Structure 1
Amino acid sequence: MQFITILLLFLCTAFPLLHMFNALPIFLNRKKPGQHKVLEYKTMSILIPCYNEESIIETAIKGMERIDYLAKEVIYINDGSQDGTLKKLHNHLRLIPEERKVAKELRYKNIKHFYKSSLYPNVYVIDKENGGKDDALNAGIEYAKNELVVTLDADSILADNALQQLNKVFQDDNVIAAGGMVHALQGVSFNKNKVYHTLLVNHVVRFQIFDFIKGFYINRISLAKLDALSVISGAFGIFNKEILFQVGGYRKTLGEDIDITLKFQQYILKNRGKKMVFVPEAVCYTECPETWRDLFKQRVRWQKAFIDCIVHYFPMLIKTFPFRTVSFFFLIDSFVVGTIAIYISLFNLGNMLITNIDEARNLIIFYLLGAVLFNLIYSMFAVILARYYGVRFKGKEKIRLAVTIVLDLFVFRFVTLFIVLYGTMAYFVNRNDWNKVARTGRIYELEKDKGMVKVG
């Protein structure tokens, strides 16, 4: 047991250190998007699944209005909403019936109607029976007519240049999927084409703002460089449509984003040279839970989704473990270090409290001095990297950031550890519980000076 404890301690230190230094810009192993010579505008179909999104759908529509990427279509997929989502789509888009032939290669619930907007060009709505997010995305893929498929949540707003940044990356025909950077929508304000970052929000949102900064600017960037990307966020991802058909679309699961990413990794295994990337310059803003209850529900679902993919893909992960970095990091870094190590650490601590309370006290002191210091350094690295990519906090925001970092170390870190423990056990009790998080109902102020142009 002592050997296992020492090994886990080493892994818990080694992997974060690796990601910290690997995420530094001096170790970039791909050209920055601006260095690509753009040859053409890749056509993109933006899919936005909607289930009971009455309170946020107006913001979603305004968000699409801001995007001036011309080679695109926008498809809202009303997945059997029981509120006024479809009515609002009708009111804001002035929908009229449209016909579009589809291949019917993927599985999804019955399509009631297909509409196009009479106000905006290349904007459509699918009205279908409820089947879940994966089902809605499969329907959207069938109806998409463009080369690339962009998946967004209904509460996700793209930055003005997000699609242009992705377009530059997809000039490389070997790139078959990409993920973008995700920020909390409540933590930004839009003014004259500029985005200002703020922490003048409640602590639940603050923790998530900083958690996104650490998770994306360190972990996600590092894993992408190592060809070990195991999740392209469901809030913002882009995929080659033909390959989506080849891998069978989305599986019925809690974690459709992890699942589809691993399906693409399986495709890459059989088609050497193909790759998926992470593009931190392509940004979207998504609404975060604002209460501890909603945050808990969301993160428990994330952990259930992770465990579900571990179980489903375990044979593939073990088989490819010796020669695929994605399998190695998904099993060791994410599963062993991120989940198993927590259980073992708690067992060791409980055992010592019973058999040797002095040793338990020394262990707690070691954690407070060692682990907290290490995580503080990790947090500062994240702030520096975020600043490199344009995320800056000014004036009083720096004080709020400092307070958030301290509370993250002593409060939010333990909250997330508990969620991992609870979510892992809950998966084996009720793995199909979706736990949809309620929308805030807030109307966000977004610019409407460019993007989709009214035509009637």
Structure 2
Amino acid sequence: MELFLLIFFCLCLFFPLLHLIHCLPWFREEDERVKRNPKSEKGISILVPCYNEAGIIETSVHSMRSLAYTNFEVIYINDGSTDETFSLLHHHLNLKQCWRAPLGELSHKDVEKVYQSALYPNIYVVNKVNGGKADALNAGIEYAVKELVVTLDADTILTAPSLTVVNEKFADPDVIAAGGMIHVLQTKTSNPLKKLSLAGTNMLIRVQMLDFLKAFYVTKLSLARFQALAIISGAFGIFTKKALIDVGGYRSSVGEDIDITLKIQRYIAKQKKKKILLITDAISYTELPETWKDLFKQRIRWQKSYVDCLVHFRYFFVKTVVTKAVSFFYIIESFFVGILAAYFTVGFFITNAFLNVDFVYVQFIIVYLSYIYLFNFIYNLLALRQVKRQGFSFEKGDWFRLFLTVLYDVFIHRFVTMYIVMFGTIAYFFNRDWQKVSRTGRKYEMDPVSQIPAYKREV
């Protein structure tokens, strides 16, 4: 048992250290270094699935006016909402029924009507029977007319230049999918491309922000460079429409974002030049849970979605675990180290606490926990340094809050996360449903009107 624990312990240190080193600028891929200057804008269809989004939909609609891009459309897919989502869309957009033919490639629940905004002619609403998020996205793809598809959550706000950056990266014909960078909406400032603020946030928001910064600016960046990205977040994903159709669209599951990413990874397994990127300059903000209840809902769903895809893509993983980086990291890092190690560690401590309480055991516990605490403290600080290297800084007065957040993360939150991983893994086999996280209903500051393209201000 001690040997297995030692092996898992070493692996638990190896992978974070690997990502922390590999995310540094020295390891930038050609896609990150080369700046393309496309002569035209690719058409982009932004899909926003909505189910009971009355608390955030006004913020979403207003945010679409600040995008510094011309050739795009927005399609809100109202997935049978039972609240005021549709009436609010109508109020803010002045909707008029229009006709638009679907592609007829992907299956989805019946679409009742399609509407176009009289105020902003590039914004549409597809009103359909409830079928879930994956079903809503399939319907959106069916009615999208542009070459690229951007998928957003209803609470995601894009920064003004984000679509321009996407257009530049997709000028490479080998890029067929990408993930954008996601920050926490509650930390957004009037300078969303450079500044973050912790003022007015509670510890739960701050530690989630720390999770996101580590995930995107360290782990995901490293995995993307290995061509091992397994999750393009549903909050901000970019795909060629052709790729989405070729893989059969979204599968109804507890984690449609992991599923579609792995579908595309499987799709490009035999197309060596095709690739998936993480676009570090395409910045978005999304709202995170502000209560423990909603946090558990969200994180348990994330863990269920991981297990669901582990089961669904098991043959792909087994066949390619030594030939494709995404399979290696999904199985070795995420499954063996991320899940099994948690059970082994807890089992070891509980067993020895009852059967083998002696001085040597107590010494081992002290040394083990001290090393883990110290490593994670240093890891957090280096991750924050990486975020600063990418051009972001915090408001004055935030550094003490950050220090307290790091301490909370090291001594408390990492054990909460371990519990969620263990509970969510087991829960998947008993209940595959997931509950929607509540929206705060807060009004957020949008980018200045000066950033809005003139052609939109004149509409």
Shared fold per TM-score greater than 0.5: yes
Deviations 1:9-44 (A, max 9, x none): 121111111101000011101243772232321111
Is 1:453 paired with 2:456?
A: yes
Gaps of 5+ in 2: none
Deviations 1:184-212 (A, max 9, x none): 10011225x76531112011100111110
**How far apart in 2 are the matches of 1:363 and 1:302?**
33
Deviations 1:125-169 (A, max 9, x none): 000000010000000001000000000000000011111111111
Question: Does the 8 Å CA contact 1:33/1:168 hold for their aligned counterparts?
Answer: no
Provide the secondary structure at the position in 1 that maps to 2:119.
coil
**How far apart in 2 are the matches of 1:33 and 1:404?**
33
Q: 1:34 to 1:157 in 2, by over 3 A?
A: farther
- Look up the equivalent residue of 1:214 and give its one-letter code: K
Deviations 1:423-452 (A, max 9, x none): 111111101x22100000111121351147
What is aligned with 2:387?
Answer: 386
Provide the secondary structure at the position in 1 that maps to 2:421.
helix
What is aligned with 2:173?
Answer: 173
Provide the secondary structure at the position in 2 that maps to 1:269.
coil
**How far apart in 2 are the matches of 1:321 and 1:281?**
31
**How far apart in 1 are the matches of 2:50 and 2:458?**
25
Shift of 1:422: 0.9
Question: Does the 8 Å CA contact 2:149/2:240 hold for their aligned counterparts?
Answer: yes
What is aligned with 1:240?
Answer: 240
Question: Does the 8 Å CA contact 1:119/1:454 hold for their aligned counterparts?
Answer: no
Shift of 1:455: 5.7
- Look up the equivalent residue of 1:453 and give its one-letter code: K
What is aligned with 2:263?
Answer: 263
Question: Does the 8 Å CA contact 1:33/1:169 hold for their aligned counterparts?
Answer: no
What is aligned with 2:404?
Answer: 403
What is aligned with 2:208?
Answer: 208
- Look up the equivalent residue of 1:375 and give its one-letter code: N
**How far apart in 2 are the matches of 1:34 and 1:393?**
29
- Look up the equivalent residue of 1:61 and give its one-letter code: V
- Look up the equivalent residue of 2:303 and give its one-letter code: Q
Provide the secondary structure at the position in 2 that maps to 1:387.
helix
Match runs of 1:125-274 below 5 Å: 125-190=125-190, 196-200=195-199, 201-274=201-274
What is aligned with 2:84?
Answer: 84
**How far apart in 2 are the matches of 1:79 and 1:448?**
31
Is 1:350 paired with 2:350?
A: yes
Deviations 1:357-389 (A, max 9, x none): 134422331233101111112111211110111
Question: Does the 8 Å CA contact 2:159/2:193 hold for their aligned counterparts?
Answer: no
- Look up the equivalent residue of 1:177 and give its one-letter code: A
What is aligned with 1:315?
Answer: 315
What is aligned with 1:22?
Answer: 22
- Look up the equivalent residue of 1:56 and give its one-letter code: I
Provide the secondary structure at the position in 1 that maps to 2:227.
coil
What is aligned with 1:7?
Answer: 7
Question: Does the 8 Å CA contact 1:120/1:454 hold for their aligned counterparts?
Answer: no
Question: Does the 8 Å CA contact 2:56/2:442 hold for their aligned counterparts?
Answer: yes
Provide the secondary structure at the position in 2 that maps to 1:220.
helix
**How far apart in 2 are the matches of 1:209 and 1:61?**
24
Question: Does the 8 Å CA contact 2:68/2:163 hold for their aligned counterparts?
Answer: no
- Look up the equivalent residue of 1:366 and give its one-letter code: V
Aligned length: 454
The CA RMSD measured in Å over matched residues stands at 1.4
Provide the secondary structure at the position in 1 that maps to 2:394.
coil
What is aligned with 1:415?
Answer: 416
Shift of 1:454: 5.5
- Look up the equivalent residue of 1:111 and give its one-letter code: V
**How far apart in 2 are the matches of 1:34 and 1:27?**
14
**How far apart in 2 are the matches of 1:447 and 1:257?**
27
Q: 1:16 to 1:194 in 2, by over 3 A?
A: closer
Provide the secondary structure at the position in 1 that maps to 2:372.
helix
Question: Does the 8 Å CA contact 1:307/1:427 hold for their aligned counterparts?
Answer: yes
Gaps of 5+ in 1: none
Does 7-16 or 82-91 show the bigger shift? 7-16
Q: 1:11 to 1:327 in 2, by over 3 A?
A: same
Q: 1:276 to 1:194 in 2, by over 3 A?
A: closer
- Look up the equivalent residue of 2:374 and give its one-letter code: L
Q: Percent identity?
A: 48
Deviations 1:198-243 (A, max 9, x none): 1120111001111100011100000000010000001000001011
**How far apart in 2 are the matches of 1:261 and 1:420?**
21
Q: 1:62 to 1:448 in 2, by over 3 A?
A: farther
TM-score, length-normalised on structure 2? 0.96
Provide the secondary structure at the position in 1 that maps to 2:100.
coil
TM-score, length-normalised on structure 1? 0.97
Displaced runs of 4 or more, over 6 A: none
Question: Does the 8 Å CA contact 1:106/1:248 hold for their aligned counterparts?
Answer: yes
Provide the secondary structure at the position in 2 that maps to 1:357.
coil
Shift of 1:179: 0.3
- Look up the equivalent residue of 1:198 and give its one-letter code: S
Question: Does the 8 Å CA contact 2:308/2:428 hold for their aligned counterparts?
Answer: yes
Question: Does the 8 Å CA contact 1:121/1:455 hold for their aligned counterparts?
Answer: no
Deviations 1:230-269 (A, max 9, x none): 0000100000101100100000101000000000001111
Question: Does the 8 Å CA contact 1:188/1:195 hold for their aligned counterparts?
Answer: no
